[in-house]
Amino acid sequence: MITKEKLYSDVPPTKLRSKEEKFTPAKTSRFWLTIASLYFFNMLQNRFYAFRYNGVENYNQRDKDYPTILFAPHSNWWDGIVLYNITHRICHKEIRLMVEELNRFPLLARGGAYSVNKKSPQSAMQALKYSVDLLKDLRNILCIFPQGIIRPPHYRPFEFQTGLAYIAQNAVKKYGKVNLIPLAIDYCFLRDNRPEVILDFGKRIELTDKNIDRHEYTKFLEKALTDACDQQFKNISSGAVEDYEILFKQHLKWYRRIEQRLKSIDLPEVADV
């Protein structure tokens, strides 16, 4: 008997459960960040063969005197773990990440997460205003999943909520400028029996206009993420990932090492009888 399973819902979890949740800010400390950094990196190493990334110059060449927002699609459970490692091990900053139902995983606040409750516009607005305030500290990088809900891998078209544009616009009003960088993240099998994490930093966007139309700017950001993900898909499908930088890469398993050795052995030619 086959049991039908609903993998994706159009309703955010906090609306679906309709449960009151108290707002929880990020509560980081050096101790907890060290623990989280080791734990989350170890999680990736245990499940993935390699972590490859490309286009980091789009981040490195940003205007470092102004805040930065990274935004990415949200397709599975690993996305938050990947973003944590991107900010801490590639960008060398502290992550600030909006998480629904943070009350179920309160320790995540120690790693830089803060809550958002989409049950009511007032509750969601509290998280958006908090996001703008977080950008004041340039040791932080704000990471956003602008779709606002988990979608299937390679889902198209991207449809953002206006929260990202709201945060960007108000950051400009408050700080003068903001850097926005789309991230394309994929999980795929290449030549190993374990999947790999593939990351591309898209083209950097610098917003200085505080009078943007949020709905129009949301469409602009949707296209920026689409372009980054489409280019990554071309790279993966053509095998053009060999020049990507590597955050980590596992040693081959013993049976793969034997396989490589066997492939390198030149067998003598057998004469025709």
* Calpha distance 50→58 (Å, rounded): 22
pLDDT surpassing 90 at residue 190: yes
Q: Is residue 272 part of a domain?
A: no
Q: Is residue 3 part of a domain?
A: no
pLDDT surpassing 70 at residue 73: yes
- Give pTM, 2 decimals: 0.89
pLDDT of 246-262, one tens digit each? 999 997 665 556 666 66
What is the Cα gyration radius of the chain?
Answer: 21
SS3 at position 3:
coil
Q: What percent of the chain is modeled with pLDDT above 90?
A: 78
* Calpha distance 229→50 (Å, rounded): 19
Q: Give the pLDDT score at 262.
A: 63
pLDDT of 18-56, one tens digit each? 777 789 999 999 999 999 999 999 999 999 999 999 999
Q: Give the pLDDT score at 111.
A: 94
User: What is the average per-residue pLDDT within 91-104?
Assistant: 94
The DSSP output letter for 86 is I
Tokens 């052995």 belong to residue: 265
pLDDT surpassing 70 at residue 69: yes
Query: What is the overall mean pLDDT for the chain?
Result: 92
pLDDT of 116-164, one tens digit each? 988 888 889 999 999 999 999 999 999 999 999 999 999 999 999 999 9
Please state the domain count of the chain. 1
CATH number at residue 214: 3.40.1130
Q: Is residue 83 part of a domain?
A: yes
pLDDT surpassing 70 at residue 177: yes
Strands, DSSP E only, in the chain? 50-54, 68-71, 94-100, 113-116, 140-144, 178-188, 196-201, 205-207, 245-249
Query: pLDDT grade, residue 14 (50/70/90)?
Result: confident
**Domain range spanning residue 124?**
13-264
Greater confidence, 65 or 101? 65
208: left (phi over 0), alpha (psi -120 to 50) or beta: alpha
* Calpha distance 105→85 (Å, rounded): 18
Q: Is residue 35 part of a domain?
A: yes
Q: Is residue 7 part of a domain?
A: no
Q: Give the pLDDT score at 212.
A: 97
Q: Is residue 2 part of a domain?
A: no
* Calpha distance 264→253 (Å, rounded): 17
Query: pLDDT grade, residue 273 (50/70/90)?
Result: very low
pLDDT surpassing 90 at residue 175: yes
Q: Is residue 1 part of a domain?
A: no
Count of CB atoms within 10 A of residue 273's CB?
Answer: 3
Q: Give the pLDDT score at 121.
A: 86
Q: Is residue 77 part of a domain?
A: yes
Q: Give the pLDDT score at 125.
A: 94
